[in-house]
Structure 1
Amino acid sequence: MQRRDFAAAVTAALATPAVLGAPATAADRSGDGLARHMRAALAPELDDRAAARALVPHLHDVGFDWHPETAPLRKLDFLVAYGFGNRPPAGGGDPSKVRPEPGPVNEELADAVARVRRHRDVPVYAQWEIARFLESKHHMRNVTSIEPVIAPDGTITYLSTDGVAAQVAELRAKLPGGIGTAGVVGFRDHVKRCVQTTRDRGMAAYAPRGFEMPGTYDVESGQPWTRRRDLYLVHDMASQWAVLREKLVKQAYPNG
């Protein structure tokens, strides 16, 4: 089977029950059916059944599962809100030394945090783009803004998703009661990776159950990969693969 036939083979296999008039099975609905079809298509392509079995769970997780694990609000001890995109500085200037505008998506993320906080009054750690709206629009207290790193010459280094998680982990580790469990707020296509990244930094983390995350892209975002969904999904998958690669290499060869 040639590479160009892989997606077609999977699609055709998944479509078979509908074509025949048979309802999808529980396994198909749960994703087990998709994984089975993926193994069937990939094994001959690689000419290696063992490699296909090893790869398919990762392909399924990164490419076909975009929903984070959730938990009820009563189990969450604090909230972490991750920013998404921004707008270029309103007054122009050197973007390496002038902060961008938070933008409408981060305002929507702040609104999502406010909705959660109405039901569970816990501390909030928010990337600065979101924290600005929590303070100015929602007048929210008990908010810790996760700020970018500013060098002595004024150069701004913006934190990655992992950078934000690292800052929060460091702050929570100093508390006498321990880190606790994080409720993660993030953009719809970003929130799964936000949860994973928060966990990778040693915190128990879940998305708040029953709360919808913002999902409208800003075509004027200063970060091109956050302007369109098709572009962002590739970006997010690339980030997931990079983290997974490091984990698998360390797992296979812990001593280098």
Structure 2
Amino acid sequence: MQRREFAAALTAAMAAPAVLGATPAQASPQRGGQGLSRQLVAALAAELDDRATAKTVAPLIEDVGLDWHPETAPLKKFDFIVAYGFGNRPPAGGGDPTKVLYEPGPVNEELADTVARVRAARRGLPVYAQWEIARWLESKYGMTDVTSIEPVIAADGTITYLSTDGVAAQVVEHREQAPGGVGTACVVGFRDHHKRCVQTTRDRAMQAYAPAGFAMPHTYDLESGQAWTRRRDLYLVHDMLAQWTVLRAKVIAEAYPNG
């Protein structure tokens, strides 16, 4: 019975319209709030025959699977902008894709548009943008004072594209050299990637939030060179796997800090 009730509550919660830019606290009532949390614990407890473990695991499942909104902050709080790319397009001129850069693509253009809107509202903020977004900021907006986070190109020309964490690692290296120190990041990212962008930035020892009042791009590109970024159903599975991978390492390290 608990599983059927939880499934019904989950369906209702997921059918509720999402508010772009909402904080987790704002989003909770839409996904069922404490009622859904209790039902998730009850369903897991019945399935596992173990309420103690269910109470430990249920919040993790809820966080990864049901909460897609990062914490927000007002623009006055930020010291810099970091923008994470999403998808791309195969090289327009063809060639070996391991040695020819992919095209930035339309989603990264929308992300560049978002960066431009944020910066127009808070002028002078330094911008660190994944290269696909940086290309659009330069070509479309003439924004030349952007630190572009580039892929790694080996001596033989082979290209290694950076992960979300790889980009964050590069940004924190730059910010550690900034006059005022690392500071607080205003994170721009694709709507379904946005929460993980904020989390990953924080995991690299930076304070980070989404900018309050700014909706993030959310239209998928069916021609993206990355199959998992072409459709929402595929991407959500991909993102949840990435979240679980990081969370797995954290909970094991917390439980057994000395290995």
Shift of 1:11: 2.8
* Matched ranges for 1:80-95 at <5 A: 80-95=82-97
In the alignment, what sits opposite 1:21?
none
In the alignment, what sits opposite 2:117?
115
* Matched ranges for 1:164-243 at <5 A: 164-243=167-246
Contact conserved, 1:97 with 1:155, CA < 8 A, in 2? Answer: yes
- Superposed CA deviations along residues 179-217 of structure 1, whole A, max 9, x for unmatched, are 000000000000000000000000000000000000000
In the alignment, what sits opposite 2:147?
144
CA distance in structure 2 between the partners assigned to 1:48 and 1:83 by the alignment: 41
The TM-score with structure 2 as length reference comes to 0.90
- Superposed CA deviations along residues 22-65 of structure 1, whole A, max 9, x for unmatched, are xxxxx855621111110111101001001100011101100000
1:137 counterpart SS class: helix
Give the letter for the 1:210 counterpart.
G
CA distance in structure 1 between the partners assigned to 2:140 and 2:82 by the alignment: 18
Contact conserved, 1:127 with 1:164, CA < 8 A, in 2? Answer: yes
**C-alpha RMSD over aligned residues:** 1.6
1:178 counterpart SS class: coil
From the superposition, tell whether residues 15 and 208 of structure 1 become closer, same or farther in structure 2 (CA, over 3 Å).
closer
1:126 maps to 2:129: yes
Shift of 1:142: 2.3
Contact conserved, 1:28 with 1:34, CA < 8 A, in 2? Answer: no
Contact conserved, 1:148 with 1:158, CA < 8 A, in 2? Answer: yes
- Superposed CA deviations along residues 53-78 of structure 1, whole A, max 9, x for unmatched, are 00111011000000000000000110
In the alignment, what sits opposite 1:39?
41
Match of 2:5 among 3, 6, 9: 9
Which 5+ residue runs of structure 2 have no aligned equivalent?
A: 13-27
CA distance in structure 2 between the partners assigned to 1:111 and 1:120 by the alignment: 14
Give the letter for the 2:219 counterpart.
T
- Superposed CA deviations along residues 91-145 of structure 1, whole A, max 9, x for unmatched, are 1111110000000000000000000000112000000000000001011142100
The TM-score with structure 1 as length reference comes to 0.91
From the superposition, tell whether residues 45 and 229 of structure 1 become closer, same or farther in structure 2 (CA, over 3 Å).
same
1:255 maps to 2:258: yes
From the superposition, tell whether residues 155 and 104 of structure 1 become closer, same or farther in structure 2 (CA, over 3 Å).
same
Give the letter for the 1:238 counterpart.
L
Which 5+ residue runs of structure 1 have no aligned equivalent?
A: 17-26
From the superposition, tell whether residues 15 and 103 of structure 1 become closer, same or farther in structure 2 (CA, over 3 Å).
closer
CA distance in structure 2 between the partners assigned to 1:169 and 1:205 by the alignment: 12
Of all paired residues, the percent bearing the same amino acid is: 72
CA distance in structure 1 between the partners assigned to 2:29 and 2:90 by the alignment: 44
From the superposition, tell whether residues 242 and 76 of structure 1 become closer, same or farther in structure 2 (CA, over 3 Å).
same
Query: Higher Cα Rg: structure 1 or 2?
Result: 1
